[in-house]
Homo-oligomer: A and B are copies of this chain.
Amino acid sequence: MKTLKRLSATMLLLIVFVFCSGTYSQEIKISDNTRTCLDCHTSLHPGIVGEWEKSAHGRMAPSAAIKKQGMERLVSAEKIPEALLDNVVGCAECHMINPEEHKDSFDHADFSVHPVVTPKDCSVCHSTEAMQYEKNIMYHAYGNLMNNPVYSDLVTSINGIQTFENMSLTIAPPDDRTNADSCLSCHGTMLKVSGTETRETDLGEMDFPVIEGWPNQGVGRINPDGSKGSCASCHGRHAFSMETARKPDACSRCHKGPDVPAYPVYKVSKHGNIYSSEEKSWDFGAVPWTIGKDFSAPTCATCHASLLTDTEGNVVAERSHQMNDRLYKRIFGLTYAHPHPVSPDTTLIRNKAGLPLPTELTGEPVEGFLIDQAEQDKRKGAMQKICLSCHSTGWVEGHFDRLENTITTTNRMTLTATEVLMEAWAKGAANGLDKKESIFNEGIEKKWIEQWLFYANSTRFASAMSGADYGAFDNGRYYLSKNIQDMIEWLKLRVKDKEKK
């Protein structure tokens, strides 16, 4: 008995050794350049080195990755430069690639190193994903906000320092650091190398570039190599993990709400409930991702991005970094929900009033700039195909019929709020478009913003993802209806005042 016990312990140790070491059959080759980086940075930055060591990048060379066939292949480039093939993807492979294009490149221990790694750098191996992402509206998130005079005025009304004198309010233009800390935290900052700084380090004096707008990992960041975006927005750094991007938490930083409450709505939806309850037993690393085998309820990535198959290996959805190719309508209202724009650069749009908005102020979608019915049907079909993996046609049609109704009714409630606002402008109780003044900085205008940006959006997200409470009391229909009441009461108080004078 005792012998058997000793034997079993020995064997367990062996088993553990064999299976955990994981290195006995596959050699990890690290480039000399990366080794030089690691010599110092392993102790300087243990957190990111640790992440990288456990990552796919840190454990597999592109030469092996590119040999994978069919759907299992994660490297989409046809060819990878010879020099990158045989070593794992380490510090040097990403931070020293394309040095000439990088305005943030600097001389560091005799290497030309750039701190900011960009989608263009990643596209050396992941070209298809980079190309798809250029069609993603997030790719243009910086310009779509900052180069659109209407939205840019909204930014000023929120981020500008306000001062009070003689009973009146002055709003200064917002400073760059405030914008970087709020809107551009998600939209992305503009990174500009503004000079060089000498720092005392453990290895003596060293020069480093000074980069305005850094740090930032916004989805539409303007990069020093001319590219846009940051893969780290969703994939994190330095694990660059598909698993992380497949989990809903990855989306939470920018989709918390109340403007785009996708994450909280998902969390309380039945899909989110099942995720929270079961995700520990799901396989977030499987490629392709098989419905019913690897997971049993969708996360954000499932419906919006991932390559999905059924248990027989049939493709249910192709991998997409464009994402809106599965979205037929943009339920994020500006100011009304509308068919998705044709171009992800939404500054190109002009409505009848000449404003760069996808709808008229009275709700009609702007012609010519939004996708047509055929494209809408195609995208809706792509999304519904995923739904149909678990739900019957009747279920799916019922769900989308309700969503369509919700889009209509929330747009209608936004129109009513807009009519109250226009009455306020007409009666001189507030100053708006007709006086060429900001439409975002008076009491009733703030309420109007909330009508579409918070309440109508929340109600639509709740409808799209079945997150009931967000369509009822939590920024939903309760507030959508109450807010109109509030706007009218606001107006009545002022109109009476005016009439008395």
By a beta-carbon cutoff of 8 Å, the part of chain A in contact with chain B is: 4-5, 7-9, 11-12, 14-15, 18-19, 42-51, 53-54, 115, 157-164, 167-169, 171, 175, 177-178, 180-183, 185-186, 197, 199, 208-211, 214-215, 217, 236, 239, 241, 243-244, 247, 249-250, 252-254, 256-259, 263, 267-270, 272-274, 276-278, 280, 290-293, 296-297, 310-312, 314, 388-395, 398-399, 401-402, 405-406, 409, 412-413, 416, 419-420, 423, 441-443, 446, 453-454, 459, 462-463, 466-474, 476-478, 481-482, 484-486, 488-489, 491-493, 495-497
A391 to B399, CA, bound (A): 45
Contact present for B239 and A43 (CB under 8 Å): no
Whether the pair B14, A161 counts as a contact (CB closer than 8 A) is: no
Contact between B177 and A277, CB atoms less than 8 A apart: no
- Beyond A45-B391, A177-B406, 10 additional contacts (C-beta under 8 Å) are A8-B11, A8-B14, A11-B15, A12-B15, A46-B310, A162-B416, A162-B481, A186-B469, A249-B273, A250-B273
Which of B9, B243, B280, B312 is within 8 Å of A43, CB to CB? Answer: B312
Residues of B within 8 A of A50 (CB): 291-293, 296, 311
Question: Contact at A14–B18, with CB atoms within 8 Å?
Answer: no
**Option from B214, B311, B402 in Cβ contact (under 8 Å) with A177:** B402
Q: Are B466 and A185 in contact (CB under 8 A)?
A: yes
A289 to B388, CA, bound (A): 36
* CB-CB nearest in chain B for A491: B167
Bound-state Cα–Cα, A185 to B186, Å? 32
Complex Cα distance, B273 from A247, in Å, reads 9
CB-defined A-B contacts under 8 Å, sample of 7: A47-B390, A50-B311, A158-B472, A163-B416, A164-B420, A217-B270, A253-B469
Structural contact, B276 and A249, CB atoms closer than 8 A: yes
CB pair B446 A482 closer than 8 Å: yes
A268 pairs with B258, CB closer than 8 A: no
Copies of this chain present in the complex amount to 3
Shortest C-beta distance, A489 to chain B (Å), equals 5
Q: Complex Cα distance A478/B157, Å?
A: 8
Q: Which of B182, B236, B252, B276 is A247 in contact with, Cβ under 8 Å? A: B276
Q: What's the minimum C-beta distance from A1 to chain B, rounded to whole angstroms?
A: 9
- Bound complex: CA A263 to CA B311 (Å): 35
A164 touches B19 (CB 8 A): no
Q: Give the CA-CA distance A264 to B62 in the complex, in Å.
A: 39
- Given A8-B14, A311-B43, answer yes or no on A392-B115 (Cβ-Cβ < 8 Å): yes
Residues of B within 8 A of A210 (CB): 394
Contact, CB under 8 Å: B270 / A253: yes
Beta-carbon contact of A241 and B277 below 8 Å: yes
Given A43-B314, A293-B50, A393-B208, decide whether A442 and B256 contact each other with a Cβ distance below 8 A: no
Q: How far is the CB of A258 from chain B (nearest CB, A)?
A: 6
Q: A468 contacts B186, CB within 8 Å?
A: yes
Which residue of A167, A470, A473 has the most chain B CB atoms within 10 A of its CB atom? A473
Whole-angstrom distance from the CB of A153 to the nearest CB of chain B?
Answer: 13
| A44 CA to B180 CA, complexed, in Å | 47
Known contacts A164-B420, A252-B268, A273-B252; A442/B485 CB under 8 A? yes
Which of B45, B183, B270, B477 is the one whose CB lies under 8 Å from A472?
B183
From B164, B252, B267, contact of A419 by CB (8 A)? B164
Instruction: Return chain B residues, CB-CB under 8 Å to A478.
Output: 158
| Chain B residues positioned under 8 Å from A485 (CB to CB) | 169, 441-443, 446
**Closest 8 A-B residue pairs measured CB to CB?**
A50-B292, A47-B390, A46-B292, A256-B469, A249-B276, A185-B468, A177-B405, A46-B310
- Distance, CA A132 to CA B497, complexed state (A): 60
Partner of A310 from B43, B175, B249, B419 at Cβ < 8 Å: B43
